[in-house]
Amino acid sequence: MKTFWLKTEQKIEKSQDQLFKFFSNAHNLTKITPPWLNFQVLTPAPIEMKVGTLIDYRLKLRGLPLRWQSEITMWNPPHAFVDEQRRGPYRRWIHRHTFVPVLDGTLIRDEVEYAVFGGGLVQKFFVAPDIEKIFAYRTAKLKEFLA
């Protein structure tokens, strides 16, 4: 299985604790996810975040309704956490969120290791452009909500 990587980072002028708290609330994902995905968190609030927590979502990807389930596999407040897809549109999806204090704020790092059904051409022409748009939207929304 061939895997691909997406890595992003963004500085926000908030403390590490404030940003970790924002990302610790899975329901905040709806605020930073593009509306064209029709993203909904199905797991009722409040969600106790810890290793082993399962979170269910519903979304539309290119118009197709999908269910997604992720599991928190690493939880290290306020430094980092990892969520892994257990059910969803990817063959593999491991998303590491890291929060690093820097001068005048915090650096948010996202590292996603993923694999797709259909291989390299599907990745190049469909998946990579979609993921890049989603994370670009997220970057803009984080700046808007948290700046």
pTM of the full structure? 0.94
SS3 117: coil
Contact 90, 74 (CB under 8 A): no
The token pair at 76 is: 């290290």
Mean pLDDT per 10-residue segment, the chain (147 residues): 94 96 95 96 97 97 92 98 96 98 96 92 91 96 83
Intra-chain end-to-end CA distance of the chain, in Å: 39
Between CA 73 and CA 95 the distance in angstroms is 10
- List beta partners, residue 101: 106
The pLDDT of residue 147 is 67
The pLDDT of residue 1 is 85
Gyration radius of the chain over CA positions: 15
SS3 37: helix
Contact 50, 72 (CB under 8 A): yes
Domains of the chain: 4-146 (3.30.530.20)
* Angle made by CA atoms 142, 53, 127, in degrees to the nearest 5: 50
